[in-house]
Amino acid sequence: MLPIIILAGGRGTRLKSAIPDLPKCLAPVGGSSFIELLLARLARFGASDVYLSLGYKSDLVIPVLQKQASIKNIHWFVEPLPLGTGGAIKACMDEFSLSEALVINGDTWLEGDLVSMLQLSVKEEYSMIMGVVSVADRERYGGVEISNGIVTGYGEKDNSGPGLINGGIYCLKAECFSFMESKTNFSFESAIIPKLVKSKLIQAVVLGVDFIDIGVPDDYYSFVARHGN
């Protein structure tokens, strides 16, 4: 299994009404936190090497990571300044000399079997694999179009109704960032993915899982109701 990077440095601005004094990854879920549940779940799927990109209030996150016992090898990198999703991935891969990794958004929960995604590796002719999921209404997230297993369209938000969206989980090579400077702030979703889509360098894997983004209060409370016991 590839090493796993978890993006856990965000401020969680949209979630402030629910958790005003905590970083998003420490959102309480019953007697635990979201990041602890996510790490334990990845361990059950066989993950042993996990790298976290931290930022906002990392001083609160690190003690939690130091106490966790589910992942055999856990490492973290603290962003020297906010780097955005793309900058955080690149900095983490550079810091730990990772040529390929599985990347997961630290505020996303994919309910179901992830083995098909976690055991993948990017083929030589591509730069990335994107895990996509089906939702009842993709307008909030932006749609993903695929053809013959290749991502051909990404991010269009003018289409409501059911369809495929980016599941926030990727297998990717460090070469995705070859044209970006290290430790600069940029968005993976807007600065990297569209370029790779245009060059037809992203494979798609349709995951038969439910997508939960805890980044807004309603979805966070729904997640707590399901997993907080």
Q: Divide the 229 residues of the chain into consecutive groups of 10 and give the mean pLDDT of each group.
A: 91 81 90 92 90 94 91 92 92 94 90 80 91 86 90 79 89 91 87 94 90 87 86
Helices (H), the chain: 34-44, 58-67, 84-95, 115-118, 193-198, 217-227
Specify the residue for token string 């089906």.
Answer: 134
Q: Residue 149: what pLDDT?
A: 92
Say which CATH number the domain at 197 has: 3.90.550.10
Q: Which domain holds residue 76?
A: 4-227
pLDDT of residue 157: 63
What is the number of domains present in the chain? 1
Residues 6 or more apart in contact with residue 69 via CB below 8 angstroms: none
Name residues whose C-beta falls within 8 Å of residue 104's C-beta, 6 or more positions apart in sequence. 4, 5, 6, 7, 38, 42, 168, 169
Q: Structure pTM?
A: 0.92
